[in-house]
Amino acid sequence: MSWIDNKFEEGLIVTSLDWAINWGRQNSIWPMTFGLACCAIEMMAVGASRFDIDRFGAGAFRASPRQSDLMIVAGTVTYKMASRLKRLYNQMPDPKYVIAMGACTIGGGPYFKHGYHVVKGVDLVVPVDVYVPGCPPRPEALIEGLMRLQDKIRHQTRAKDPISRVKEEVLN
Amino acid sequence: MADVVIESTPDVLMDLDKSGQGDVRTEEMLVNMGPQHPATHGVLRVVLRTDGEMVLESIPHVGYLHRCAEKIGENLQPYQYIPYTDRMDYLAGMNNNQAYALAIEKLAGVEVPERGKYLRVIFAELNRVASHLVAFGTYGLDMGAFTPFLYSFREREMILDMCESACGARLTYSYLTIGGAHDDVPDRFFDVLLEFLDYFEPKIPEYNQLLSFNHIFVKRTADVGVISASDAIAWGLTGPCLRGSGVKWDLRRSAPYEIYDRFEFDIPVGVAGGTDGIPRSVVVGDCWSRYFVRVLEMQQSCRIIRQAIEQIPDGDHINKKLKNLKLPAGEVYMEIENPRGQLGFYVQGDGSAIPSRVKARGPSFSNISILNHIGRGCLLADIPAIVGSTDIVMGEVDR
Amino acid sequence: MTSEEICDILKGEFGEAVTDSVMDARRPYVVIDAARWEEVARFLRDDPRMAFNMLQCLSAIDLLEDNKLGAVYDFFCIPQDGTDDVLTLRHHFAVRVVTDRDDPHLPTVSHLWPAADWHEREAFDMMGIVFDGHPNLERILCPDDWEGYPLRKDYEFPLEYHGIPGTTEHELTNPRH
């Protein structure tokens, strides 16, 4: 949540502002090159010639977390990697989004039962916005996941959400 | 005069001292590269001790993708374990399936029908081409060239389409299994394959024009990270890393497994520059040689596929008598030539259906262990060139 | 050279150090006394009849019934005579060295074959075999503060690591062994 979010009462100006900001955000999601395992190859395929994720404004893969909006966790997260993953997530500027790509990041996948060194789902480490199932997911599936994330961004608002409004009323 | 104590000082620094330039105060720095870095091919972490631009030590740290594959192998039946082998070297799933299947067949004495053997060779070689295409494209990316990546992935998608038509998966196939190949190929598959080969083979000279003989690329890779033949053997390097050092060793010819003795193909090795159009600055065993061996190997794989299509007989694609496979007590060690080198499986059976020990020897594991040995005294910008030229896949290093 | 011939040479040279040999199996191997393994390894590398210049694989094994741990070494001999032809495998050989399970120690061979360096670290990490004389024997795959040796048959899976929950159902962790 960035500085502008969750600040204003709902109204015509906020709604128009929302539309403009969301339009900008959803069409320029810059992902981080965060390939961990097999899924990373499919993520590369998404960025390459046939699937071309640039069509959705998400083709500018950044090497640094400080320049990226989206972390596609592509591949198995291990205990050794988990602390690094958390640090990278913390280095990303707001607003930030996470796509959990593949069965391993969703819940340990094929390594659930005997994988003593595998984290059973990346949502135990960082919050996740969209889950993309598959082992590995096809590039089309990742593009679908990206479109669902765009849907999510499209419905964000700068207005105060009901919970914080109630909180405020109680406090006052 | 600075009091910098440097262990294992490279010769270059000694020479600086003698020439009187050693008065310049230098400070050592530890640079951490990875595990999240675009040029480390996954989650490799290299800790570099640098003096300015010069690398004094480059220690690789692995294990960020340790997925317990060996423990899983001790708990699953061989059929169930085949999908896990896909995920070891995820760029060459077919070759890994083949390696584990061969190890189990050797242990349990399983016969494979002729057509199954040919299908295995065709798909293993096809996957080798796909894997080398990724190596070619990403090595270009490492060196700052984006275009080769797009070209190589264009061709790779065609191979993936063919694999998909045979088994339904793009990356993790589980197609070559114990006793042969899981399914027969669809109708007209070989026509499509031949069409692809006709299309693909002329592309290789195009790649060479695009990247291999590009001046900037040659400057970045020639005479960088040189591995001598004896070092390569002592450190257990295999595959293009060994052949790049001029050792003509390829398990497909040196100790043929399956039916590789029925095909004619050459083993490309690294050669010194100045002949046959090889850039003058190239020396045997440098990054460029390792890279170029892969490009030449793609041609040889196409040759093997063409011969296999001509020879392939009709019949069963899998041994259909296999039911309730029991592994006898005993142990085997089976190695095959994977795109990265020799992939070995050590399997120990104990009379039940589940092996009691499965050990995978990943070629990348040995190939990357030499990094500190050759990374001494090179420049910081050479480290991605060296790491990229060994073409590691972390899934296989860490298993 | 066949494995039988290599085994005979080793028996002739080292006698008692070759404690056992299994020659009729699919993969023949000899068992070498751990105390003299370094000496035998040097012979395997330097003797011109042997000339095993490549250590292919080191597999650590857990022999739970005998209360032993073992290491299996696979050697290749790649001829280095500089011909233009394709080199062919001259011979290969496997050696097994066993040690006590409660206090596992084996001599290192990383000074003979640098390839053994990482393989021995892996065996230490996974099985807990201590290779005496190894220059840098620390965990390679698991994090440094990992507890236990995962590939031992009696290993119990961690229930949590640094606050991240592990396998929740404990009986699921290792059903077979």
The pTM of this model reads 0.88
Query: What pLDDT does C169 receive?
Result: 52
Evaluate whether A1 touches A95 at the Cβ level (below 8 Å). Answer: yes
Of the three residues B61, B80, B103, the one that is the final residue of a domain is B61
Query: What pLDDT does C90 receive?
Result: 77
Q: Select from A38, A127, C128 the least CA-distant residue to B67.
A: A38
Q: Give domain status of residue B1, yes or no.
A: no
Q: Would you place residue B196 in the very low, low, confident or very high pLDDT band (cuts 50, 70, 90)?
A: very high
CATH class, range A30-157: alpha beta
Q: Give domain status of residue B84, yes or no.
A: yes
Tell how far CA A112 is from the center of its chain.
23
Evaluate whether B364 touches B341 at the Cβ level (below 8 Å). Answer: yes
Average pLDDT, chain B: 86
Into which CATH architecture does domain C3-172 fall? 2-Layer Sandwich (3.30)
- Of all residues in chain A, the percent with pLDDT exceeding 90 is 17
Q: What is the DSSP letter of A73?
A: E
- Residue B344: strand pairing partners: B335, B361
Token reading at A119: 């984290």
Q: Would you place residue C176 in the very low, low, confident or very high pLDDT band (cuts 50, 70, 90)?
A: very low
Give the mean model confidence (pLDDT) for residues B326-347: 89
More confident residue, B141 or B8: B141
Q: Would you place residue A4 in the very low, low, confident or very high pLDDT band (cuts 50, 70, 90)?
A: confident
**One domain for residues B76 and B38:** no
Give the mean model confidence (pLDDT) for residues A103-116: 86
Asked if C166 and A124 come within 8 Å (Cβ–Cβ), the reply is no
Using CA atoms, how far residue C128 sits from C71, C110, C149, in Å, is: 11, 17, 6
**One domain for residues B15 and B147:** no
Pairwise CA distance, residues A103 & A101, whole Å: 7
More confident residue, B175 or A13: B175
**One domain for residues B113 and B24:** no
**One domain for residues B339 and B268:** yes
**One domain for residues B41 and B171:** no
Chains that contact C by 3+ CB pairs under 8 Å?
A: A, B
Q: Where do the domains of chain A lie?
A: 30-157
Q: Would you place residue B8 in the very low, low, confident or very high pLDDT band (cuts 50, 70, 90)?
A: very low
Pairwise CA distance, residues B34 & B37, whole Å: 5
Query: What pLDDT does B372 receive?
Result: 87
In chain A, what residues touch B137 (CB-CB under 8 Å)? 48
Query: What pLDDT does B18 receive?
Result: 54
**Of A20-34, B135-149, B350-364, C83-97, which gets the smallest average pLDDT?**
C83-97
In chain C, what residues touch B235 (CB-CB under 8 Å)? 114-115
Closest partner residue to C164 (CB to CB) among A114, A116, A125 is A125
Q: Would you place residue B130 in the very low, low, confident or very high pLDDT band (cuts 50, 70, 90)?
A: very high
Instruction: Kindly report the nearest CA distance between residue B334 and chain A, in angstroms.
Output: 24
| CB proximity B228 to C under 8 Å | no
**One domain for residues B106 and B19:** no
**One domain for residues B191 and B277:** yes
Q: Count CB atoms within 10 A of the CB of residue B34.
A: 21
Q: What is the pLDDT of residues B205-242, one digit of tens each?
A: 999 888 888 888 998 898 888 998 888 888 889 999 99
Query: What pLDDT does B329 receive?
Result: 87
**One domain for residues B133 and B53:** no
Q: Does residue A136 have a cis peptide bond before it, meaning omega lies within 30 degrees of 0?
A: yes
Instruction: Kindly report the nearest CA distance between residue A119 and chain C, in angstroms.
Output: 7
Asked if C61 and B348 come within 8 Å (Cβ–Cβ), the reply is yes
Give the mean model confidence (pLDDT) for residues B247-251: 88
Helices and strands (H, E) in chain A, number of each type: 6, 4
Token reading at C43: 């012979």
Query: What pLDDT does C82 receive?
Result: 63
**One domain for residues B159 and B212:** yes
In this model, does residue B254 exceed pLDDT 70?
yes
Instruction: Kindly report the nearest CA distance between residue C136 and chain B, in angstroms.
Output: 12
How do C91-100 and C29-32 pair as beta strands? Answer: parallel
Pairwise CA distance, residues C57 & C88, whole Å: 19
Q: What is the pLDDT of residues C61-108, one digit of tens each?
A: 888 888 889 999 988 888 876 666 777 777 888 898 989 888 889 999
**B328-343 residues labelled b (16+ CB within 10 A) or e (exposed):** eebbbbbbbbbbbbbb
Token reading at C41: 């390894």
Pairwise CA distance, residues A78 & A104, whole Å: 10
Q: What is the pLDDT of residues B152-180, one digit of tens each?
A: 999 999 999 999 998 888 888 889 888 88
**One domain for residues B131 and B44:** no
**Of A160-169, B82-91, B265-274, C59-68, which gets the smallest average pLDDT?**
A160-169
Closest partner residue to B107 (CB to CB) among C26, C87, C126 is C26
The domain in which residue B32 lies consists of 11-61
**One domain for residues B42 and B80:** no
**One domain for residues B30 and B131:** no
